[in-house]
Structure 1
């Protein structure tokens, strides 16, 4: 057992025996380690530790998990134990309800009508995002913690500055500095478009809507949540959440769910995601089209900062991917 994980589990559950640890899926976050835990009594959990010793991500995720489970009609894993101030900061949760979206997605593509079923699933994802974004905040802000009862502790700042902090966090968790100059180019783009960004609405953003971070719980769909019905989707991994422009969350979700390194998924799938959002919210976020090109530039860091991971994932030479990333960034900057 990893020493950090062993320390955390001993601190959090001193009277429980661990039978084994299991893989928790693929992660491109170099600052965390996450493992599945099987206790001797058969109970399961997931343990995330900040291997870099920085507890701010744990504090943020813990606060948002408590917020969405107490104040929003959105399912999320139960928090079993957490300590953002420990020598090894950690967050331990129960398993998310349902099945990982990726597995459901792959199964839907195997039979007749699979495309229509996938579109229906994406409409549910869009609706869940709209539900998350429904409550508006007075100001944009970083989330720095919570009050333990579902309230969020916020550090307000103009949206461009909050967005720049997310770029800093991407650099922190990135796994490659091969294209470090891309960070500077993206920062310059955000600074040059401050006026375009400043008037964006302010909502709670998930910040990392990828297939491994969504669980489909058909048994839970339709449960009343106090405001709207639960869509049967449970997001996990909230550590990149902030209070920002909902258009950014929607652009990122479309990219992470549907696109490849330098290719776009079928337009009908993107349209289904946006349709689900519109149906729930009454329309796309205000200013979506105007700000989208800036967020597509920012999304390049999901390639540039993890080029080594993409090399392994695509089984292609790093130099070839670097060349393609350079060309893609130039194209996106030109479109702003």
Structure 2
């Protein structure tokens, strides 16, 4: 990618790095979210950064990501990229980070044997469990930096009770029931969806979530990533070094925290398994799903409380990742759109019947 790129990117680049000479911009792979765009930046001195620019009114996402990167970087068990500079209120809003540590999981998996992939997924499961160990008193939407801190940022008082670390990074959270937070994530999916062919699926899933409010609202409240995919994961330790660090959740770094929130860890795990292993209407090998869950159990002592009872609801919610982007799937799979629409419609009906 030569030149300064599209006009919003050029303006954000000039605002973020006014004193640096940019050699070139690079692509970072395909994205189905048209609300923002991320480019790699290579400076004349060889330095590198990644610049995410809001192309629509998505500044809140960037404020959230900046806050969570600071919070996890200070308190979390997982490595995250360092925030270089950010202006969520800019025109356009932007966020620049240093490169993520390690090698991309997508690249590592492509070169790995099946046994090695199984071990990598076990490590991802442990990393997710380590993240989910950060618990909050209630569910909610993260809207930026603030004073709220979970168990990962708590110390211990003289009488053994928790106390938040004074002056440390915190989050601004709009607390709400888990059902309402989940409904808000569905509406965001609707906003960035690229196809209206299955628009009725959103309302069907929303009805399902509302009908299960009593089941959902009792879920644990943990910091969740919200978009665990191979392109968002990096392997920071390998071989013998990994065995010494993975017990603490290290060895896997995560990027793209713009969808993070305080939610049900079971939903994050269901979504991670689906995005890491499954296709449009195909399921990955059982051994890989088992490895992901086993890694989670090793770190957490078990799957999230109530996982099996709430999983069917989250399986229905996950269908919106097909329904709302069915045109993108048709291009990716090189299959007729009408065929995918028919299959997605049948799949959603089956998932709703299973709830």
How high is the TM-score relative to the length of structure 2?
0.90
| Superposed displacement of residue 25, structure 1 | 1.1
The farther-off stretch of 118-127 and 143-152 is 143-152
Alignment of 1:74 with 2:78, yes or no, is yes
User: Is the CA contact 1:31–1:172 (under 8 Å) kept in the aligned structure 2?
Assistant: no
Helix, strand or coil for the counterpart of 2:248?
coil
What does 1:211-230 align with in structure 2 at a 5 Å threshold? 211-218=230-237, 221=242, 229-230=248-249
C-alpha RMSD of matched pairs (Å): 1.5
User: Is the CA contact 2:12–2:91 (under 8 Å) kept in the aligned structure 1?
Assistant: no
Match of 1:330 in 2: 349
| Superposed displacement of residue 246, structure 1 | 0.3
CA–CA separation in structure 2 for the residues paired with 1:90 and 1:126: 31
Residues 223/51 of structure 1: CA separation in 2 closer, same or farther (3 Å cut): farther
Question: What stretches of structure 1 of length at least 5 have no aligned partner?
Answer: 109-113
Once the two structures are superposed, residues 127-155 of structure 1 have per-residue CA deviations (whole angstroms, 9 ceiling, x without a partner) of 00000001211000000111395201000
Name which of 180, 191, 197 aligns with 2:216.
197
| Superposed displacement of residue 315, structure 1 | 0.5
Match of 1:4 in 2: 8
Helix, strand or coil for the counterpart of 1:147?
strand
Helix, strand or coil for the counterpart of 1:263?
coil
User: Is the CA contact 1:223–1:230 (under 8 Å) kept in the aligned structure 2?
Assistant: no
Match of 1:207 in 2: 226
Alignment of 1:32 with 2:36, yes or no, is yes
Match of 1:95 in 2: 99
User: Is the CA contact 1:49–1:89 (under 8 Å) kept in the aligned structure 2?
Assistant: yes
Alignment of 1:167 with 2:166, yes or no, is no
Residues 103/222 of structure 1: CA separation in 2 closer, same or farther (3 Å cut): same
Residues 221/310 of structure 1: CA separation in 2 closer, same or farther (3 Å cut): same
CA–CA separation in structure 2 for the residues paired with 1:12 and 1:118: 38
| Superposed displacement of residue 175, structure 1 | 1.7
Helix, strand or coil for the counterpart of 1:87?
coil
How high is the TM-score relative to the length of structure 1?
0.95
User: Is the CA contact 1:80–1:92 (under 8 Å) kept in the aligned structure 2?
Assistant: yes
CA–CA separation in structure 2 for the residues paired with 1:17 and 1:175: 36
Residues 66/5 of structure 1: CA separation in 2 closer, same or farther (3 Å cut): same
Match of 1:247 in 2: 266
Q: How many residues align?
A: 329
Name which of 287, 296, 306 aligns with 1:268.
287
| Superposed displacement of residue 224, structure 1 | 6.9
Alignment of 1:235 with 2:235, yes or no, is no
Once the two structures are superposed, residues 147-197 of structure 1 have per-residue CA deviations (whole angstroms, 9 ceiling, x without a partner) of 395201000000000000000111122222221111101100000111110
The farther-off stretch of 183-192 and 230-239 is 230-239
Once the two structures are superposed, residues 33-84 of structure 1 have per-residue CA deviations (whole angstroms, 9 ceiling, x without a partner) of 1111111111111111110032000011111111110001210111111111
CA–CA separation in structure 1 for the residues paired with 2:89 and 2:310: 37
| Superposed displacement of residue 87, structure 1 | 1.6
Q: Runs of at least 4 residues of structure 1 off by over 6 A? A: 222-225
| Superposed displacement of residue 230, structure 1 | 4.3
| Superposed displacement of residue 223, structure 1 | 7.9
| Superposed displacement of residue 231, structure 1 | 2.4
User: Is the CA contact 2:130–2:248 (under 8 Å) kept in the aligned structure 1?
Assistant: no
Match of 1:106 in 2: 110
Match of 1:85 in 2: 89
| Superposed displacement of residue 308, structure 1 | 1.3
Question: What stretches of structure 2 of length at least 5 have no aligned partner?
Answer: 148-167
